[in-house]
Amino acid sequence: MCLMVKCALCVHLIYSDIVQRSREELKAIRETNPGLKPTLAIIQVCLCIGLNVMQICLPRQCTEEEVSDEILRLNEDSRVYGIFLHLPQSFLSKSVRNAIKPQKDVDGVSDLNVGRVVLGDQRDGFASPIAGAVLEMLARHGVYLFVYAFRHMLLHLHSKVFTEMFVAVVICQHVVRSSRRWIQEQQYQPWRLHPLKLQPLSPVPSDIEISRAQTPKPISQLAQEVGLLPEELEAYGNTKAKVHLSLLNRLQHQPNGKYVLVAGITPTPLGEGKSTVTIGLVQALSAHLKLNSFACLRQPSQGPTFGVKGGAAGGGYAQVIPMEEFNLHLTGDIHAITAANNLVAAAIDARILHEATQSDKALYSRLVPSVNGVRCFSPIQMARLQRLGINKSDPSDLTPEEVRAFVRLDLDPEKVTWQRVIDTNDRFLRKITVGQANTEKGNARQTQFDIAVASEIMAILALTDGLADMRARLGRMVVGSSRNGQPITADDLGVTGALAVLMKDAIKPTLMQTLEGTPVFVHAGPFANIAHGNSSVLADKLALKLVGEEGFVVTEAGFGADIGMEKFFNIKCRTSGLKPDVVVLVATVRALKMHGGGPNVTAGVPLPKEYISENLQLVADGCSNLKKQIQIAHLFGVPVVVALNAFKTDTQAEIDLVCRIAEASGASAAVQCHHWSRGGRGSVELAQAVKKVASQKNYFQFLYNLQDSVVEKIRTIAQKVYGADDIELSPEAQAKIDYYNQQGFGALPICMAKTHLSLSHMPEKKGVPTGFILPIRDIRASIGAGFIYPLVGTMSTMPGLPTRPCFYDIDLDPVTEEIKGLF
Amino acid sequence: MCLMVKCALCVHLIYSDIVQRSREELKAIRETNPGLKPTLAIIQVCLCIGLNVMQICLPRQCTEEEVSDEILRLNEDSRVYGIFLHLPQSFLSKSVRNAIKPQKDVDGVSDLNVGRVVLGDQRDGFASPIAGAVLEMLARHGVYLFVYAFRHMLLHLHSKVFTEMFVAVVICQHVVRSSRRWIQEQQYQPWRLHPLKLQPLSPVPSDIEISRAQTPKPISQLAQEVGLLPEELEAYGNTKAKVHLSLLNRLQHQPNGKYVLVAGITPTPLGEGKSTVTIGLVQALSAHLKLNSFACLRQPSQGPTFGVKGGAAGGGYAQVIPMEEFNLHLTGDIHAITAANNLVAAAIDARILHEATQSDKALYSRLVPSVNGVRCFSPIQMARLQRLGINKSDPSDLTPEEVRAFVRLDLDPEKVTWQRVIDTNDRFLRKITVGQANTEKGNARQTQFDIAVASEIMAILALTDGLADMRARLGRMVVGSSRNGQPITADDLGVTGALAVLMKDAIKPTLMQTLEGTPVFVHAGPFANIAHGNSSVLADKLALKLVGEEGFVVTEAGFGADIGMEKFFNIKCRTSGLKPDVVVLVATVRALKMHGGGPNVTAGVPLPKEYISENLQLVADGCSNLKKQIQIAHLFGVPVVVALNAFKTDTQAEIDLVCRIAEASGASAAVQCHHWSRGGRGSVELAQAVKKVASQKNYFQFLYNLQDSVVEKIRTIAQKVYGADDIELSPEAQAKIDYYNQQGFGALPICMAKTHLSLSHMPEKKGVPTGFILPIRDIRASIGAGFIYPLVGTMSTMPGLPTRPCFYDIDLDPVTEEIKGLF
């Protein structure tokens, strides 16, 4: 919303998008002039309803023409809702009036009543009877409105000459109306979603062809349709936008919508289509049942995009568009994570080198240098001193022992756990030796690169609830330990603030849309084995506010339900405090046949005949896995809807059998869905089932208490979720547990790093394996993200490129700018 | 611009931002229906003026309320300039009229004349006398206007039933007016720049404080002020936007503005403020002399931002804002370069591994797999076959020898020249061993990481003139050589298309603004030693069109004029075909004193007394360097304005002396400037001098011909520019020259990799060294970027972190989101 007032040759604009700036200015005024109470009171009135002041100065001797010029310019500013002028009568000539009249006129400039502008004396501000009366009148209209010669005043404040301040209060019927609308906008807005029409073709074209055939809505339009304010949006081109976290504050009193998790049965190596079900479900809910809904998805790594075929934006007629933007840089979050992660790595090795080559004194004089003859600790160094128990703030007071403790992190190069990352499938970086140049003076050591999404910073992004929390988690990250066994953190390296700065934009979720023009948040994409494999808490929270009480947020968990869903409940929901209402469990006839004893399914090899012709016995036997995964969800007290993701080769008898067994196993409903070939229309039955089940009462609970011992927590998951008889700890794992307990990390939740291809740790064991002992090979911890991760088997954190990577097919038409060959 | 017409229950919108889509549709129509000429003629009329058609379908049985609802929604769409309705009379009820009237009304809906809508018969299209007459009338108004039931028609085309097509032509006075405006917008727009006011404080606050104290204009507003169309802009938040290259096409007939290069004398290690002069100059030109001007800057690496203090956004009151955005991720171009560069690296090592572990046959069957029983080469593989002289297109036709030649790049691991990159100061990556994991089967090799901006892809981005050219250059990049000495390219690896896809957004320059709200392009930032150190050709070209004939584009060259300016002329201008009008040569009293024999200047150490008190002798002696650099510019036939970047400690006598000597040495003018402390106002004198000199005729020429031999070209630069007696080639360098000549790379320009701290190769030799032989240690080539770079001494391509990196001071306030400590 915008006002414009001409007073004392200053033109004032009120933009709602500079709230923060005005608050800072208010703070500065307060600090500089403690005696300014009455005037500040008025400023506060202004700020408390979120109105903010910006001015454009016209030259002191400006001409009528310059005024009309200024007005014409404002006419073209799309953020200006209306224009209000306070001009000397002599300026209200025809040319000025003409400049205003035929142009944008939301609030009826033609009715402008110049006589109703009141100027208060600057020395009494709020106390002035005139200004007070005007404010009273405004209050009767239910709104305070206020325009202030802000910069003018500030100038005087700066020069400490405070003699010419004045207050101008303007009232006008249209201003009041427009302001009332502005205040309404601060409240929850019912959606006015205009879905995009889909005309599915048969046979179904390639994913990129489908994506390209649909013209997405401008992202600003979608944002407006779902009740976002323009100032809450940062567009990145026309199809992606970041959403400000201030939304959580604005809608804090708005009840959350229903919270739906999409999980899957134990999959084949081909995947069973959880993302596609997620998109299909929101397309059905929003575009067909006319229920507000949001999908929350993980951002995929760019590495596999160029490695092995397969996008992550859904598929067929259930996709996020434009899919190439989704699969490529998006809004740069993963690049920011890479930069932050690698700054920590560079800081570690540089610190090891500097400590190895400098005396305590030299280190100290460099770390706490004399600047213009003054030495002082930076805030992050003060924090380190406190952790060391040194309560001194003057650098010259430290004893030599204290100096030594302060300057030497004494990192053990053998015990650095922090790895560098890169968002490329680069297998040659799986094990490397760094520091071999002469300049590194013999400090070479072996280390590795992981794929960027395996960074702990990605896990933090997914679990944090705001900037302050993210900054704190980044500082807590343990990067290795000192030679005497103390954990060394990012805070010790002094790098926390820089990491927060690098991540300041990444923390905002990215808004995109489905093929049917319904909203999607894409945010974070941590690994599903060494991390928890769920999209961000923040995206879910924003979406739950936006959909409103009757709406739905559909979020997805990586891998099978035994891993992704268990972590969703025990880690993500515990962190966020959110309670899930329904689990949608995705199954395919193909995966069920595999669990029933069908032959191996391998990517790139044609499916054996069992999978393309009817085989009810295999299906019936394989439903054991489905039943077990339903039971796992019930352990947490959450009802299950089974979504049978239909393939062309499935027979009706097979489908009916699965649905019958699923319902007999306790699923609240079991339906087949056809979003891949038909879009949201193909998943309407699923959407109806989800809607019905979500309205039932449920009894969500965690599987373990954080205060249980680490071993107890691991055992609970192994026995209750995986069906193991017990667990077996390697001596290494036991030693780590002792170490974590000693360091006070024992009360963190558990994040199992296990294969997703079996309920057990043995990928070849399908169905519901029993009678096994789960071996815990090693245990690691992501202290910043806030979990301990036991390793069951070896986990690759760096994919490789095949002989023929899919980049052979990818190209860009230089004329049309069209991308070819991307899935 | 937007029209909306209701006919046959379809609501039509015309958006100018979907030009491309409509062209495709037209093409599709043409291909499907060759007989459709008359109708197509009308469509073409519509398309040739760039009007495009999109429709929103209302339900067939829609109610009056739904119509007003639709209108209300359009009112809120900021891209809709005006709304035109063709409705049955019964729909023009009060509620519908009310929905239209008080809302956005650019073109005067109140004047809507329903009776003047003409419907033509679909069967005769253009031939219809009615439609024809209407079009004639439109033509008399200088405009063709056309609204078409587009999707409706397409639907019928899809189903091959072409019976119900119709044409609706609408004429209305306001439409004509609005269209005329639209057509005008396609032409060059005079600027309506509204500078931001600056109120410089004394003493000058820190860079980030100054940056934060100024509220930038919304970037969309700045774009509009300088004549960009909304569809040419891709906002990245509110302060940065990418600009489409289509602008070059739109303004192809617009004459270029004046082209100004900012270069410097041989600097001290502290730098003499070229970027700051560049910003100060455009602030003076645009905000004070009211001449259109654009600054074109390089994007800095993010590495040093967290390493050693010093931003690249200018300084003091001559800065690009927000400076933290400039110095951090910006719009992700460097991240895209990193991703593209490292995809090549991963492809190289993976290929070496796969060739080492597979037979010819296995490689062939994987590289050219059978998909659904069909084997075929991808286009990039066909290109490789052609380079190998194999003119076959059926994979089964190749002989075993041809298969071998095709599948084996046979890269010599010792001769891989391609390095990985990272945008972090990580000294431990200067020399590393990769491939040490078991999975890489003993193929470990030594290599290194460079800082991202040292990537050849960065140099390509800086030199390319469009997507097609960039794609071609990416494909030509030589990554190493085969065991029998053949160069291996990105094309051979099959990765070119993927690189182009990764770089598709990076090729668009980023628009930002100075502290005084004048426009800046930030684009590319190649190294100034191993590459040419200049910002992008594309940004300069876009800016030269935007400023118009009387305007100025100010661009900066890295290092001293002997390096940056020489490369600007011989490499960048040769590639772009642009002719520079003026060189602004930046000098400081400090640097001149150093050249006159003053003591060493070292970063982080207080300046010796010679530099802070008057010493006319040192200044006079040091002007030898200034004189030599002026002469170098004159070698190229370009006039010079010397800009003396004033420091507090400079005395008037010193300043006068420099200006006198500069003018005596042939500079067209020499003026001091004070932009750092005063903003553009402090550089008005410089701006006036540049304006005057730019209007003089000049005689720009290159220093050498591309057809000269490589040795001759190097010698020319060494003798004429550096003042060397001769050059001396190492045997290694000589062998490389022979190799490049043999490969046909001999006609490329030369990009000298020499220290910037002396005109010679010896950093300690100040002033104008003579009597030396320039040693050429080695020669390398960036074939994709298109230059050969002789190495004079060793060049570090990976900076390190100091003991106390500046990240210790950097932090983010989690509440205000304010960044602290960034310079």
Taking residues A71-78, report their average pLDDT: 54
ipTM reported for the complex surpasses 0.85 = no
- From chain B residues 316-375, the ones with a CB under 8 A of any chain A CB are 324, 328-329, 332, 335-336, 338-339, 342-343, 345-347, 349-350, 353-354, 358, 363, 366-369
Count other C-beta atoms under 10 Å from residue A523's C-beta: 30
Predicted confidence band at B93 (pLDDT cuts at 50, 70, 90)?
A: low
Side chain identity at residue A346, one-letter code: A
Q: What digits encode the pLDDT tens for the residues B408-441?
A: 999 999 999 999 999 999 999 999 999 999 999 9
The superfamily CATH assigns to domain A710-791 is Formyltetrahydrofolate synthetase, domain 3 (3.10.410.10)
Q: Please check the confidence at residue B71 and state whether its pLDDT lies above 70.
A: no
- From chain A residues 143-182, the ones with a CB under 8 A of any chain B CB are 155, 158
Q: Please check the confidence at residue A57 and state whether its pLDDT lies above 50.
A: no
Q: Please check the confidence at residue A312 and state whether its pLDDT lies above 90.
A: no
Q: Give the pair of three-digit tokens for residue A779.
A: 């245990």
pLDDT above 90 as % of chain B: 67
Q: Please check the confidence at residue A61 and state whether its pLDDT lies above 80.
A: no
Taking residues A25-34, report their average pLDDT: 51
Burial class (CB in 10 A: 0-12, 13-18, 19+), B370: exposed
The answer to which of A96-110, B271-285, B477-491 has the lowest mean pLDDT is A96-110
Q: How far apart are CA B218 and CA A15, in angstroms?
A: 11
The answer to which of A331-345, B164-178, B714-728 has the lowest mean pLDDT is B164-178
Task: Identify from A83, A329, A428 which residue to disrupt to test chain B contact, counting B C-beta atoms within 10 A and taking the largest count.
Answer: A428
The answer to which of A267-276, B310-319, B622-631, B695-704 has the lowest mean pLDDT is B310-319
- From chain A residues 426-485, the ones with a CB under 8 A of any chain B CB are 426-437, 439-440, 443, 446, 448, 466-468, 470-471
Q: How far apart are CA B768 and CA B758, in angstroms?
A: 8
Contacts of A224 in chain B (CB under 8 A): 76
pLDDT of residue A698: 84
Taking residues A282-296, report their average pLDDT: 97
Q: Do B805 and A350 touch (CB under 8 A)?
A: yes
Q: Please check the confidence at residue B722 and state whether its pLDDT lies above 60.
A: yes
- Name the most confidently modeled range: A63-67, A159-163, A410-414, B141-145: A410-414
- From chain A residues 22-41, the ones with a CB under 8 A of any chain B CB are 23-24
Q: State whether the Cα torsion B561-B563-B566-B571 is positive or negative.
A: negative
B549: DSSP letter: T
Tell which residue, B524, B76, B539, has the closest CA to residue B299. B524
Is-same-fold flag (A1-186; A207-331+505-695)? yes
- From chain B residues 482-501, the ones with a CB under 8 A of any chain A CB are 494-498, 500-501
Contacts of A12 in chain B (CB under 8 A): none
Q: How far apart are CA B238 and CA B246, in angstroms?
A: 22
Q: Which CATH architecture has domain B334-503?
A: 2-Layer Sandwich (3.30)
The answer to which of A193-197, A278-282, A490-494, B122-126 has the lowest mean pLDDT is B122-126
Task: Please say whether the beta carbons of B449 and B436 come within 8 A.
Answer: no
In this complex, the residue of B380, B433, B497 whose CB is nearest that of residue A436 is B433
Strands (E), A47-99: 54-57
Q: Do A501 and B819 touch (CB under 8 A)?
A: yes
In this complex, the residue of B237, B446, B471 whose CB is nearest that of residue A234 is B237
pLDDT of residue B819: 87
Q: How far apart are CA B425 and CA B310, in angstroms?
A: 14
pLDDT of residue B814: 87
pLDDT of residue B303: 87
Q: Do A800 and B428 touch (CB under 8 A)?
A: no
- Three-class SS state of A438: helix
Q: What digits encode the pLDDT tens for the residues B224-250?
A: 999 999 889 999 999 999 999 999 988
pLDDT of residue B159: 26
Q: Are strands A773-776 and A726-729 parallel, antiparallel or unpaired?
A: parallel
pLDDT above 70 as % of chain A: 77
Q: Please check the confidence at residue A134 and state whether its pLDDT lies above 60.
A: no
The answer to which of A109-113, B399-403, B547-551 has the lowest mean pLDDT is A109-113
Q: Please check the confidence at residue A41 and state whether its pLDDT lies above 60.
A: no
Question: What number of CA atoms fall less than 13 Å from residue B585's CA on the CB side?
Answer: 36
In this complex, the residue of A76, A801, A807 whose CB is nearest that of residue B224 is A76
Q: Please check the confidence at residue A89 and state whether its pLDDT lies above 90.
A: no
Task: Identify from B191, B492, B803 which residue to disrupt to test chain A contact, counting A C-beta atoms within 10 A and taking the largest count.
Answer: B803
| H-state helical runs in A370-489 | 379-387, 400-407, 456-463, 467-476
Contacts of B102 in chain A (CB under 8 A): 108
User: Does residue A799 have a cis peptide bond before it, meaning omega lies within 30 degrees of 0?
Assistant: no
Q: Do A367 and B803 touch (CB under 8 A)?
A: yes
Taking residues B371-390, report their average pLDDT: 92
Residue A543 φ/ψ, nearest 5 degrees: -65, -40
Predicted confidence band at B723 (pLDDT cuts at 50, 70, 90)?
A: very high
Q: What digits encode the pLDDT tens for the residues B24-51?
A: 554 554 455 444 333 333 333 333 333 3
Q: What is the mean pLDDT of chain A?
A: 82
Report the predicted TM-score, pTM, of the whole model to 2 decimal places: 0.82
The superfamily CATH assigns to domain B207-331+505-695 is P-loop containing nucleotide triphosphate hydrolases (3.40.50.300)
Q: State whether the Cα torsion A522-A526-A532-A533 is positive or negative.
A: positive
Q: Do B354 and A803 touch (CB under 8 A)?
A: yes
Q: Please check the confidence at residue B693 and state whether its pLDDT lies above 70.
A: yes
Looking up tokens 């920011």, which residue turns up?
Answer: A336
Task: Identify from B343, B344, B367, B820 which residue to disrupt to test chain A contact, counting A C-beta atoms within 10 A and taking the largest count.
Answer: B343
pLDDT of residue A111: 27
Contacts of B473 in chain A (CB under 8 A): none
- Stronger pLDDT, B606 or A60, i.e. the higher one: B606
Task: Please say whether the beta carbons of B476 and B744 come within 8 A.
Answer: no
pLDDT of residue B820: 85
Taking residues A101-108, report their average pLDDT: 29
B396: DSSP letter: G
Taking residues B399-407, report their average pLDDT: 97
CB contact, 8 Å: B506 with chain A?
A: no
Predicted confidence band at B76 (pLDDT cuts at 50, 70, 90)?
A: low
- From chain B residues 746-805, the ones with a CB under 8 A of any chain A CB are 800-805
**Residue A26 CA, distance from chain mean position:** 31
Q: Give the pair of three-digit tokens for residue A152.
A: 């003018």
3-state secondary structure A363-401: HHHHHCCEECCEECCCHHHHHHHHHCCCCCCCHHHCCHH
pLDDT of residue B250: 87
Taking residues B467-490, report their average pLDDT: 96
CB contact, 8 Å: B213 with chain A?
A: no
Q: Please check the confidence at residue A536 and state whether its pLDDT lies above 50.
A: yes
Tell which residue, B792, B752, B314, B749, has the closest CA to residue B556. B314
Taking residues A73-87, report their average pLDDT: 45
Task: Please say whether the beta carbons of B751 and B763 come within 8 A.
Answer: no
Side chain identity at residue B561, one-letter code: A
Q: How far apart are CA A680 and CA A295, in angstroms?
A: 13
pLDDT above 90 as % of chain A: 67
Side chain identity at residue B336, one-letter code: A
Contacts of B353 in chain A (CB under 8 A): 427-428
Taking residues B285-308, report their average pLDDT: 92
Q: How far apart are CA A616 and CA A654, in angstroms?
A: 6
Q: Please check the confidence at residue B3 and state whether its pLDDT lies above 50.
A: no
Taking residues B782-799, report their average pLDDT: 93
Q: Which residues in B324-351 are b (16+ Cβ under 10 Å) and which e?
A: bbbbbbbbbbbbbbbbbbbbbbbbbbbb
Q: Give the pair of three-digit tokens for residue B633.
A: 């510019």
User: Where exactly are the structural domains of chain B?
Assistant: 1-186, 207-331+505-695, 334-503, 710-791
Please name the residue of chain A whose CA is at the shortest distance from the CA of residue B424. Answer: A343
Q: Please check the confidence at residue A553 and state whether its pLDDT lies above 80.
A: yes
Predicted confidence band at A689 (pLDDT cuts at 50, 70, 90)?
A: very high
Predicted confidence band at A22 (pLDDT cuts at 50, 70, 90)?
A: very low
3-state secondary structure B164-227: CCCEEEECCHHHHHHHHHHHHHHCCCCCCCCCCCCCCCCCCCCHHHHHHHCCCCCHHHHHHHCC
Tell which residue, B525, B356, B502, B480, has the closest CA to residue B781. B480
CA distances from A180 to A45, A131, A183, A531, A565 (A): 15, 21, 5, 47, 45
Q: Give the pair of three-digit tokens for residue B127.
A: 């031939």
Q: How far apart are CA A305 and CA A312, in angstroms?
A: 9
∠ CA B776-B777-B782, rounded to 5°: 85
Q: Give the pair of three-digit tokens for residue B354.
A: 């796969």
CATH no. of A1-186 = 3.40.50.10860
Q: Are strands A519-522 and B449-451 parallel, antiparallel or unpaired?
A: unpaired
